A and B are shown apart, each in its own frame.
Chain A
Amino acid sequence: MKKFIFEFNHNKKYKIKGVNFEKCFNNLIKNKIKLKNIKKNDDNTAEFYIEKNSEKKLKQELNKYNINILEEKDFGLIFFLKSLIFRVGLISSIFICLVCLIISQMFVFKIEVFGNDKISKNEIVSCLNTLGVKSFTAKSSINKKVLESELLEKMPLLSMVSVITKGNSLVINIQEKVINDEYQNVGNFSPLTASASGRIKEIKLMQGTLKVKVGDIVKEGDILVEPYIIDSSGNKRSVKAEAEIIAEIWCEGMVTHYENNIKTVKTGNIIVKDDIYFLGLPIYLDKKDISFKEYEVKSQEIALSNTLLPITLQRKIYEETKTIEENIPFENVKDELINNAKQIAFEKAKNNSVIDEYHTVREEAGIFFISYVVVVEGKL
């Protein structure tokens, strides 16, 4: 096994071949040259170590005695450090790594959210995005105090927000508000409104002040029950509006048909352009020509690396389109349109029992309006 020799000074190992080594060594030590680890082998060779600054004298002495140098090797920490100066690749890679490390320390790569229960992390992240905080945002541009107050302002369900940066992560600690109906909604109940248009057949009021009576025709959105009651002393008291109102509901499905229609359709031809950005600055721009006369553009941003370097790819997809003029006479598609309107009406009717159904067709300047009404009995 080779012996590992650690030396601080720059030493040299020599392997020499010749005769009369003893005389040569005696001359060297007379010249104040210190020799270390001298080993003589059987094949008239010897190995030894000397200090680098004695090299010149040693070579002169070896020449004098006709001794050949077979091997020369450098050792020592100082030699290692000196040799590093000439290793351009190593030094440049260390430099690049340092630069990358320094740059990476300047940006936020990850957003972490803690303490959320009802509010999802995505909601908070998208709120942060609207405030200009995303992955690859410079740490220096984030004012934590301002961000905390802006988040509280933008998200009313938060009671406390704390923002800290830890390494390359932006850590958001939140506390959600405890919502209690009894306290939160005092004096703030909403009225009960009609979910569809229809004629009221039966009313079972549970709480609140009734605004309609049996036989009334109501439209979708009309107030049925107000969220208050007048107590025995004539004071208005807020309560939750609750009632069960049965009505004949008119579920309407409406379809419109244009006899002369201009349509834009995709031909299926696409051109994709990819631009690469580093820290928001373009490092590669795709210079493809867009040969389409008419087209639609979709763009998307892809993070090429989300842990080390802020490189993003902006992809633009150009889809060729063409305009087609259609002329479809109403009579040709009448049945199909009525059927479509019927389907819409029945979807609105859900599973309520159907009392009646009918349809009407109205024409205005080449535009046909087909209305299909399904009358059902159900809760408003």
Chain B
Amino acid sequence: MINFLGELKKEFKLPYVSDYNLINITGKALYVEGHLGLMTLSKDLISFRVKNGVIVVEGKGLSLKELSENTLCIEGKIKKTEVF
């Protein structure tokens, strides 16, 4: 089975084990691996902690498609993703 994130990291010569991975799919979904907990949840803003920072996702009609211990998946119209 192809590990997509692993392949990408290999390509960009990034360390294989990193703090978190984040993929924005066409601005309609955002997949995050390695989050450390939810901070804010609303229709326009979702923020969550990652190692050494906080990620804020802004958009419209946002919802959490899936939330588990390690991963989360945001659905909606994603306008901006910021890392603090």
**Interface of A toward B, CB cutoff 8 Å:** 21-22, 25-26, 29-30, 32, 34-42, 46, 48
Q: Which residue of B lies closest to A36 (CB)?
A: B66
- Confirm or deny: B42 has a beta carbon within 8 angstroms of a beta carbon on chain A: yes
Q: Are A29 and B41 in contact (CB under 8 A)?
A: no
Q: Are B65 and A36 in contact (CB under 8 A)?
A: yes
- Confirm or deny: B24 has a beta carbon within 8 angstroms of a beta carbon on chain A: no
- Stretch binding the partner chain, chosen from B12-20, B32-40, B51-59: B32-40
B19-52 with Cβ < 8 A to chain A: 37-43
Interface centre among B37, B40, B43 (most CB of A within 10 A): B37
Other than the given A34-B67, A38-B64, A40-B42, 6 more pairs (CB < 8 A) read A22-B40, A29-B67, A35-B66, A37-B64, A38-B67, A39-B64
Q: Are B65 and A26 in contact (CB under 8 A)?
A: no
Q: Are B68 and A40 in contact (CB under 8 A)?
A: no
Q: Are A22 and B38 in contact (CB under 8 A)?
A: yes
Q: Are B40 and A30 in contact (CB under 8 A)?
A: no
Q: Are A26 and B63 in contact (CB under 8 A)?
A: no
Cβ of A253 to closest chain B Cβ, rounded Å: 105
Cβ of A307 to closest chain B Cβ, rounded Å: 53
Residues of A near B65 (CB, < 8 A) are 36-37
- Confirm or deny: B69 has a beta carbon within 8 angstroms of a beta carbon on chain A: yes
Cβ of B64 to closest chain A Cβ, rounded Å: 4
Cβ of A74 to closest chain B Cβ, rounded Å: 20
Known: A25-B38, A26-B37, A26-B38. A40 touches B67 (CB 8 A): no
Cβ of A31 to closest chain B Cβ, rounded Å: 9
Give the complex CA separation of A48 and B38 in angstroms: 15
Residues of B near A41 (CB, < 8 A) are 43
B64-84 with Cβ < 8 A to chain A: 64-69
Cβ of A13 to closest chain B Cβ, rounded Å: 14
Pick the residue among B37, B39, B69 that contacts A32 (CB under 8 A): B69
Residues of A near B42 (CB, < 8 A) are 40
Give the complex CA separation of A35 and B71 in angstroms: 11
Q: Which residue of A lies closest to B72 (CB)?
A: A29
Give the complex CA separation of A25 and B67 in angstroms: 8
Q: Which residue of A lies closest to B76 (CB)?
A: A39
Q: Are B43 and A22 in contact (CB under 8 A)?
A: no
Known: A22-B39, A22-B40, A22-B41. A29 touches B69 (CB 8 A): yes
Known: A29-B68, A32-B69. A38 touches B63 (CB 8 A): yes
Give the complex CA separation of A38 and B43 in angstroms: 10
Residues of A near B64 (CB, < 8 A) are 35, 37-39, 48
Give the complex CA separation of A32 and B69 in angstroms: 6
Q: Are B41 and A25 in contact (CB under 8 A)?
A: yes
Residues of A near B38 (CB, < 8 A) are 22, 25-26
Known: A22-B38, A22-B41. A39 touches B67 (CB 8 A): no
Give the complex CA separation of A39 and B62 in angstroms: 8
Known: A34-B67, A35-B66. A40 touches B37 (CB 8 A): no
Residues of B near A35 (CB, < 8 A) are 64, 66-68
Q: Which residue of B lies closest to A22 (CB)?
A: B38
Residues of B near A32 (CB, < 8 A) are 69
Residues of B near A42 (CB, < 8 A) are 43
Pick the residue among A25, A30, A34, A40 that contacts B43 (CB under 8 A): A40
Give the complex CA separation of A351 and B67 in angstroms: 108
Residues of B near A30 (CB, < 8 A) are 69
Give the complex CA separation of A234 and B68 in angstroms: 119
Give the complex CA separation of A26 and B64 in angstroms: 13
Cβ of A276 to closest chain B Cβ, rounded Å: 63
Pick the residue among B41, B43, B69 that contacts A21 (CB under 8 A): B41
Residues of B near A34 (CB, < 8 A) are 66-68
Give the complex CA separation of A40 and B37 in angstroms: 16
Pick the residue among A36, A37, A38 that contacts B41 (CB under 8 A): A38
Q: Which residue of A lies closest to B75 (CB)?
A: A37
What are 25 A-B contacts with C-beta separation under 8 Å?
A: A22-B37, A22-B38, A22-B39, A22-B41, A25-B67, A26-B37, A26-B38, A29-B67, A29-B68, A29-B69, A30-B69, A34-B66, A34-B67, A34-B68, A35-B66, A35-B68, A36-B65, A36-B66, A36-B67, A37-B65, A38-B41, A38-B63, A39-B63, A40-B42, A41-B43
